[in-house]
Every structure is written in structure tokens, then in C-alpha cells.
A and B are shown apart, each in its own frame.
Chain A
């Protein structure tokens, strides 16, 4: 599978995603500059974490106007796999490819720590390798991860099985204590209605190797590899 890793000014997990795609998963990968429009040969797109445009104005607000985002939208319309991680998730929401918005953590601080995620829907292209109710141990690193959507949107997300992950305790319980940023209903990641676009705040690319503290990130990438292109 050939990964296209989109790079905006201020993105910094691009190298980390590239390392996972090539050195850990043994796949093909290339960087896609935010001014590029050529998506040929790419099987999936990754919008990595970072502070695109410094998070100035609003996180993801400026990036979504980059030329590349039109191509990302077209790619998604054609059914291509798009994974937005952290800032990538924020950009996808600003661009309207995913509903809702990521706001300031409720405790107002940046938080870098390991969390546990309850797999809500193991039937998406990004979670097919997971079991029903599996708990994944993955780190977060953000100041604006507090997911918000209005009640109609939330109802629709729940009804359509679009919530991919919720913050939980190590035993899998969805509790207030397990919520690291105040996200509504502990939402940590969602998929689009069609299911080919995933946005998640935690960083799976930071836990694909045991030496770094865990390998649960692999479940997400390996699910993607299973998708027939």
C-alpha cells in the first residue's frame, strides 16, 4: 500500500508516520506537500499531527485552505482512505470532511500522556483488526482535543456507528476520570458517514514499536492494509 503523508507548514508527525509506513510496516510512502495536487499512485492519505500554521486563528483553520485539501476532498469522495491524526483530525473537521469541532482541553493545559481507547466499532476500515470492545493503549499529545458536536450530530454519529473510539479506563469503562480533555461522550475518534475517513486525537504512529511503550497503534494501520484498493 502506498501512503501519502500530507505536510503543511508546522506539521511535525510527518516523519513519525513515514517511519511507521516504511520501516515498521514495510510499505511504500511519500510526502505530499500542501501545495501539491498530484495524488496519483497513492492508496491512502495521512494528515499527521503538528501545529499547522502554528494553530494560529484556530487549529486547522488555515490549513484547510491549502491547495492540497481540495485533492484530499476529491480523494475521499472517490472512496479513498484518509486518516487524520491529532492536528489532522482538526483539519478534517475544519474542512468539513468530518462533523464537529475540536476545542481547547477543558482543563486548559496541553496534555501528553498515555490513554486507553475503547473500540466502539470494529467494523470500520481502520478497526477491522480489532475485537468488539477491545481496549487500545495509545498516547495523546494535544492542547485542543475536546470534541464537540451539537446534539443532532451526536445522535446521528451514534446511530450510524460513526464513533470509532472513546476514552476509557484500562478495563474498558467509559468514565469521566478516563476523559483527558472533556470531549463530549468521551469521543476520541470518528469516521465519516461513508466510513473511509477517520479522525482521531490520539497518536497511533507513536506506538507501533515495543521500545516506545506499546504496539496498539498497529491495529489501526494493519486494518488499513487489509482494505483492498
Chain B
């Protein structure tokens, strides 16, 4: 029976893929089986266009405890018998359709990935991108997303300690919502995701299964927004209270020692969870979906297997220990039901009562075709790379006016409006709250601190995906370095357009290559990650936007460093450059170039060898207690970094470095590998010595003091003027 194009289109499978399924099964799949393939072989679950590229990312390190990808999230040993788990995941498409629930369930999903490993979720971070705030549609999306994250995160009692947000026309119509979660676990208590052992029971815990989210994985996450279609039913609906109870119930159930494996239900619901939990050990499963509690009457096997109802976990227990485990769930008033058992025949068999509804080999379901396409450098790059930055006119607008403008630019302005809606203190581990270069949490019972941040820059990756990929990783590690933490690992979320288009595939390929190079140079493995493709509308792809979540360790949390200038008379030094360069090429991809000249152009650059040395120097200096502050130069360049350190410290800056004629490049250029530090004058000699040992150039910029931001002869502004611009920027843009 020929399969209709509509049917295939509904589940986002191609004709070629359908033929492959028929060939490998030796027959045509029935409609439930086809639905299961649609989900398992979706881009979201199958990583068809990215897996081959992702394999080059370094994933090994002496500190790693499990093989990445083999469990739900990568695990890093931090000593003292403890390990940290982390992962970042996207929820872009659902959030574009329904921002509040889309963002909320994004948080829910990533948190479940973490406690599925037996780790207690201890922090959330999020990286967000929207179209410009002067459009009502984008304001509405932004407010909805922040409210959704606030609602869900606050209710489950996990502090939201950091993140980033950026606004650009590239993301109009395709906002990016990447949620990251970090968890802490005792090494002996980790749980695996895979189940084996004939007769072991599969127990479904948590929410009843409803009709929400069917085809969220294939229908929503794996396609572009071409036509207007009613997508709302494909967005899942969250219940954070149930999630909180699930966290406590599951972690307590783990204490019995009888749980053999645990997996969360997310994209593609029961189908993917059952399949993935037996795939790793060569086993199979029999499920009787009649036994699974449902929210609505008349739900079909198709709906039961593909529903993406939230707040559900699958737990594997041997039959003799069933009661001990379900007793814990009963204590928490959590519904738990045996829905099936593990077999040894390599098949997933779905029964509805006595009727066999589907029978599929696990190894085919988990083996989608992997595509290696031919990337082609996009035509626009010829133009953007060809712009003569040297020929840019020096603006008539004053440097002071431009600085104030950049400080109030929503990407750069103070984010308090956002993070005061998030509980960032619960669990009383937060040593450095949102607003700094990285969040720092203490590890109770040890003197250690763990630092974390999220970073990405779509502009750089658009202009040069390879260099942009390098910078994404470098900047993530540099942010950890600035608080004094040694980078241990990163997680990544790759947000791109339609990979079947050669230009987008090129971007994906090049970004991954760049990230790989940076990871190798900086010694950080990628321990987990997520890929979100098809972020485009009517052929207009978003800027390639890899988002990097980073994790670092402070052996002594007391030594952490902040961005704030401290004492009158402190010296301010720039690490990573021998002079403040006015080379126009550093304007490439800068916030200044876009804001003031309306251009996104140029060729970003980075010297990885220098970057590694600068970071090492900064960490050494912090370790030895020589620095009062450290803050890296990023969006807006040197002037913005200096201003931010003043604002954080409530104290002014008096510059005494010479600025050549190209002052715009000098003040607002975004050259990489530069960190602004401040220190007591007595410590300058020691810092100089360390710098020369590490072979890092540096230059003095001025001193801390008074209540003005002064860069003679260009800028002399009272601090409260800077503060008004920076503090009010985001709220003003929201109207």
C-alpha cells in the first residue's frame, strides 16, 4: 500500500527514509510503528544531520566518569567523592508557539535529564535570543519566556543563577530558548540509564499520560515554520509541583539501592524512553500500554506511545524489589505503575491488553540514517568579509554618547529585570549571583566552589563559522577564568537553520570544527549536548548560534573573584594586549558596528595560543590573591568592560592610556583574549612577573577612584549617568 505524502509529511520522514524502514523490517510498518519511527528517526531524537559531525568533538578527560551520550548527561569528578552533572537543551520551536509553557517545559525537561542520573539539580541557567524589542511580538515572546522559566524554576526550588539574552532581527520568528541544568551527585550513587536483565520491571512514575505534545519531536522540533499551521497542541504543558515531588520521590527511591536504571520521558515520550533504555544493553521490552494511567478516555496506542506529557519517569527494578521501591513513591503520593518488563529478544513489543499493536527491532529504531552532506560556503560571506572596515567613517556622535547608547542596548544593559524574577538563592549555595561573568556555587562540606556560565555569539558565527565556533568555547572558558575557576568541561546546544541547505550545513560543519579546535587547545571535553536544527522561517535561517555551557572548579571558594572595581587608587590593567589597539578589523562583528553603523560585517579573529596563556595567567593571579577584580572584554569592547566594572563596584575609573585616531576601534572593538583586571599598586610587580612567565602582553589603563568614568579627552561622564543608562536599558526597551 503506497504511503501518502501527507502521512510522511506529518511525521517528517522522507520517502527515502520510509523505503529504508520497509527494507530493514522486511515489511511495511503499521501506523503506530510508523509513528514510532517518525519520532525515533526524527532529527531531534536521531541527530541524522549532526551525529557524524559531532563525533569529532573531544569527549574524553581523566575527570569524566561516564561516556558522554551513553547516559543522559556527562559527569565530571570534582573530588571529595562528588561529581557534577550538566546538560543544556533547546526548546526553541515550542517556545515560539507558546512561550510560557514552551520555556517552562524546557526547564522541566532538562531538570529531569539531571535527576535521572541520581543527581540533585542545584542550578539552572538559560541562554535566550529574540527578535528586537521594538516589535510587540518579540516583547510578548520575551516576557512569556521569562515568566515561564520563573514559574517552573521557582516552583521546583532550583536556583536560576545565570544566563544570557540577546536581541537581533535574525531571531525574529525563530527565538532560541536554551535551558541548562547542573546537578550534584555522590559518585557511588549515580544511576545508569540502561536496563538489562530478563524479567526486570519497567515502572512508569509521575503524571498521567495525556494528548499534549504528540509529535513535538518530529512535528515541531524537526521542521521549519513554513506554513501557518495550528501547532499549539504540539506544545507540552508543565506541572512544576509534580516535578518537585518527582525529584524528591525518585532521589529517595534511589536510596533503597534497588533501582537498576532510570530514564526521563521527554521528546517522543514512552517510545523513545523505552527504546533508549534497552538499546544500550542489547535487550528488548514488552509494554502493555493498557496499564499506563491516562488523563483522557479513548486514548489510542498511538497517542499513548507518542504523547509528550511532562513529569514522567521510567524506572527499572527487579521484580523482587518492586514493593520496596513503590513504597517510596506511595509516601510521596506519586502514581507508579508497572507497564512492562525487560526481555532478551531485541524487540520492542507494544501490547494494548492482549492485542499486539507494534513489534519493532530496537537496533533499527535506534539506527536512523546518518547524513554527511556537502557544505558550501554561503554567498553572503563574500560580501560581509569584503567590507573595508578601515574606510568606516569615524562617527560624528561622541564617544561618550556611544558608550551610553551601548550600555542601554538590551544585549548589554543590566539584566536585573530578568533575574529578580528568578529565585537565585534557594538551596543556599549561591556565592555569586547573576550579574557577574559566571555564577559561583559552594559545595557544602568541602571548601570548593563550582562556577558555571552560558555563552554564545551568533554574529561572529554568521561572519565566520569556524572562528565563531572557536570564540564560543574560548569565551565560555574565559568567563570561568575571570571568577578564578579552572574550566573542566563544556556542554553545548547547537542552534542552526535547515541543514539540508548546503550553506547551513557548511555553517554547522565549520562551527563544530572551530569548537573542536578550541576544546583541544583549552583542554575541555564536551560532555553532553543538544542540537536544534530547522530554526528558520520561509528560507530565512537564524545566525548559526552554538551556545556553550561551561563548568569550572575553584579548589578554594573563598578565592573567587568578581567583576567589581574595589578600592580608590587600585591600578587597572589590561591582560592580553601590549597596547589598546585601534585596528579597525577588531570592529568585525561588534555590537558597535551593528548599533552605530548598521552593519554586521568583518572577519572575527582569535589567537588561541594567546587565549590559553591569558586565561592561565588570570587564574594564577587570582589564586595568589593578587587581583581585586577581573572581567573579560566582550560585547561592546574595552569601554563597556571598564564601565561594567565601575558599575558593579559603584566606583569610578580614571583612564590614562593613549588613544589613537581610530578611537572607535580602540574603545569598542571586540578583540579577543583580553581581560580587564584591577589590583593594589603594591601587587603590580608580582603580576608583571607572572605575566612575563606566562608570556602574556599587558598594558596599564589607569586607576580606580572618584565617581566619574573618565577617558581623556573623549569621555568624562558621572557614574550615575552610566548607571541610569545601564540599569534602565532593558526596562526602557520593554516599554
List residues of chain A with CB under 8 Å of any chain B CB: 9-10, 12-13, 15-16, 19-20, 23, 33, 49-51, 53-56, 109-113, 139, 141, 143, 203, 205-206, 209, 211-212
Contacts and interface: CB of A to CB of B under 8 A. Distances in A.
B29 interface: no
Given A211-B431, A212-B428, A53 B423 contact: no
B231 interface: no
Q: Which of B157, B248, B422, B427 has the most CB of A within 10 A?
A: B157
B628 to A, nearest CB: 18
Chain A interface mostly: mixed
Contacts of B420: 109, 111-113
22 contacts: A9-B241, A9-B245, A12-B157, A12-B244, A13-B426, A15-B427, A53-B241, A54-B240, A109-B150, A109-B420, A109-B421, A110-B154, A110-B421, A110-B422, A111-B420, A112-B422, A139-B425, A141-B423, A143-B154, A203-B425, A209-B428, A212-B425
A16 B427 contact: yes
Q: Which of A33, A50, A110 has the most CB of B within 10 A?
A: A110
A47 B38 CA distance: 49
A15 B154 CA distance: 16
3 interchain residue pairs of minimum CB distance: A54-B241, A12-B157, A51-B155
Nearest to A17: B428
B332 interface: yes
A112 B239 contact: no
B650 to A, nearest CB: 14
Interface in B3-41: none
Q: Which of A9, A13, A16, A109 has the most CB of B within 10 A?
A: A9
B383 interface: no
A7 to B, nearest CB: 9
Contacts of A113: 420
A141 B426 contact: yes
Interface string B175-188: 00000000000000
Contacts of B424: 112
Given A9-B241, A19-B428, A112-B424, 7 more contacts: A9-B248, A51-B241, A54-B240, A110-B150, A110-B154, A111-B421, A141-B154
A7 B558 CA distance: 32
Interface in B241-270: 241-242, 244-245, 248
B444 interface: yes
Given A9-B241, A9-B245, A111-B420, A16 B428 contact: yes
Contacts of A9: 241, 244-245, 248, 332-333
A56 B444 contact: no
Contacts of A50: 157
Interface in B422-449: 422-428, 430-431, 442, 444
Interface string B652-669: 000000000000000000
A9 B426 CA distance: 16
B557 interface: yes
Contacts, number: 82
A39 B139 CA distance: 51
A107 to B, nearest CB: 10
Contacts of B444: 19, 23
Interface string B137-151: 000000000000011
A139 B424 CA distance: 11
B428 to A, nearest CB: 5
B419 to A, nearest CB: 8
Nearest to A35: B331
Contacts of B419: 112
B241 A141 contact: no
B564 to A, nearest CB: 14
B442 to A, nearest CB: 7
A143 B155 CA distance: 11
Contacts of B156: 12
Interface residues of B, number: 32
Contacts of B423: 110, 112, 141
A51 B157 contact: yes
Contact of B155 (A10, A16, A23, A203): A10
A12 to B, nearest CB: 3
Given A112-B421, A211-B442, A206 B155 contact: no
Q: Which of B150, B248, B332, B426 has the most CB of A within 10 A?
A: B426
Nearest to B416: A113
A138 to B, nearest CB: 11
Contacts of A49: 426
A56 B242 CA distance: 11
Q: Which of A12, A23, A33, A55 has the most CB of B within 10 A?
A: A12
A23 B331 CA distance: 28
Contact of A51 (B154, B421, B431): B154
Contacts of A19: 428, 444
Contact of B425 (A23, A143, A206): A206
Contacts of B421: 109-112
Given A51-B154, A203-B425, A10 B244 contact: yes
B244 A212 contact: no
Interface string B153-182: 011110000000000000000000000000
Interface in B442-458: 442, 444
A19 to B, nearest CB: 6
Contact of A54 (B155, B332, B428): B155
Contacts of A23: 444
Contacts of A209: 428
A13 B157 CA distance: 8
Nearest to B558: A211
Nearest to B156: A12
B358 to A, nearest CB: 35
Q: Which of A20, A49, A113, A209 has the most CB of B within 10 A?
A: A113
A205 to B, nearest CB: 7
A51 B245 CA distance: 11
A206 B245 contact: no
A16 B423 CA distance: 14
Nearest to B433: A213
Nearest to A208: B428
B557 A211 contact: yes
Contacts of A212: 425, 428, 430-431
A212 B154 CA distance: 19
A10 B334 CA distance: 13
Contacts of A205: 428
Contacts of B331: 33
B176 to A, nearest CB: 23
Contacts of A112: 419-425
Nearest to A56: B241
Nearest to A49: B426
A12 B419 CA distance: 19
A45 to B, nearest CB: 20
B453 to A, nearest CB: 19
Nearest to A139: B425
B337 to A, nearest CB: 19
B639 to A, nearest CB: 29
B317 to A, nearest CB: 23
A116 to B, nearest CB: 16
Contacts of B558: 211
Nearest to B157: A12
A142 to B, nearest CB: 9
B166 to A, nearest CB: 22
Contacts of B239: 54
Given A12-B157, A113-B420, A141 B425 contact: yes
Nearest to B445: A23
A19 B427 CA distance: 10
Contacts of A109: 150, 420-421
Contacts of B332: 9
Nearest to B245: A9
Nearest to B434: A112
B426 A51 contact: no
B559 to A, nearest CB: 12
Contacts of A56: 241
A13 B427 CA distance: 7
